[in-house]
Structure formats: structure tokens, C-alpha cells
Amino acid sequence: MTELLLDLDGTEARTAIETAIVAGWTGRDRQALEHHMAELEELGVARPSSAPIFYRVSASCLTTAAEIESTDASSGEVEAVLLQTGGRLWVGVGSDHTDREVESYSVAVSKQMCDKPIARQFWSYDEVAGHWDELILRSWIVEDGAEVTYQEGTLAAMLPAEDLLTSSPPLSDGVLMFCGTLPAVGGIRPARDFHFELRDPVLGRQIVAHYAVRSLPLVE
């Protein structure tokens, strides 16, 4: 279990999170998913046992810190996150930071070994449920001193939240779930600075967060 100070629709609250889940293979285009699975198989990455699939990670990996420690082979990926707490469902944004070398032989372990940064701010899910597909995910990285777009798209690219909620283990109080990510512009690659946001164009607001990555040496 972990306890984080979160902003739930403008009210700060210390929030206990007992379970963290990462939903994978949540793309809405099933033909594209099958094609991508075949590509990964050629690289030696086994296809998932189901799609979507739900990986368990330690809740203690969740963090709102401005810096994490990780490997040189790791990178972030922006995702909407769902949080059940206080008898209500909330939506926010986070980064499913993942070690890409480990991912080649075990996706589950690659996700379990990395911190999972999330933004402190959350919105009531009820306020966005009616226009869920219009919500926009974006991420940026810093390369050669310049900020460049790394990911961008709407949640229409992924399965609707209702589908994930009915397919996944129940989201009882204290459960947080990452909902899936978008392709990386220019390919997956590590970066020392990762900026990410969830934008609501209907209600004219956004949740923005950033973290830096401090590389861990293999040996001292």
C-alpha cells in the first residue's frame, strides 16, 4: 500500500492506494493490435495471453515525485489512469515507466520494476464520462536541449473506460488502473525529462505533470 497527497477535484486528500494495475493491449483497432503482436513476436517478445491484459504492479511504485531513479533502458509512456477512492471513480494521468530491455523477455517484470509517476490532480469520472473519447493525451521529451512531441492522440484510440472496468478485476476503493498508451512519435526511446498531460477540450482544462529520470549505474 502507498499513501499519496492528491488533489481530487480541488480538494487535497491523503489517499491510500492498495492495488495498482496496468492495462495492456487496450487499442480499439483489433486488426492493428494483431499486426503489432506479430511484429513483436519476430523480435522475440511473446504475445500476451489475452487482449486487453491486466498486469499487477506494486502500489508502492506509484509516485508524484519530480524525479525517479531508473535504468538507461527505461522510458515513459503517458496513460489515463482511473482511481477508485471514497466510493467514487476519478480520472487522472500518469506514466507507465518501463524498462525496455527487460520488456523483451518479460513484459510483466519490466513494468513491475519501475516507478510509476502520476499527476497529483484528478477529475471526477462522472464529469468526463460523456466525452471520454475526446480527452487528449500528450507527452513530450527533451532531446538535444529541445522539447519534442513524443505521444499525442485522443482516448478514442483505446478501449472505452466502461470496457476496461468490466474486463478488469473490480475497482474497489484503493485501486488505481493505468488504461493504455499511444504509439511513440519517432519510436520508443529513453529520455531524461518526461512531460505529460491529459487535456479536456470540452471543459477547457488540463492536468499537466513532469518528472526527471536519474540513471542508476549497474555497478558502483
Helix (H) or strand (E) holding 40: helix 30-42
Domains along the chain with CATH numbers: 2-215 (3.90.850.10)
Mean pLDDT score of the chain: 92
The CB density around residue 59, as the number of other CB atoms within 10 Å, is 20
Distances (CA, A) of 58 to 2, 5, 61, 103, 109: 9, 18, 6, 17, 11
Q: Has this prediction a pTM greater than 0.85?
A: yes
Among residues 82, 186, 168, 169, which one has the least CA distance to residue 126? 82
- Rounded-to-integer distance, Cα 167 and Cα 45, Å: 24
pLDDT confidence band for 11 (50 / 70 / 90): very high
pLDDT of residue 113: 92
Q: What is residue 195's three-state secondary structure? A: strand
Strand 136-143 to 146-154 pairing? antiparallel
Rg (CA), the chain: 16
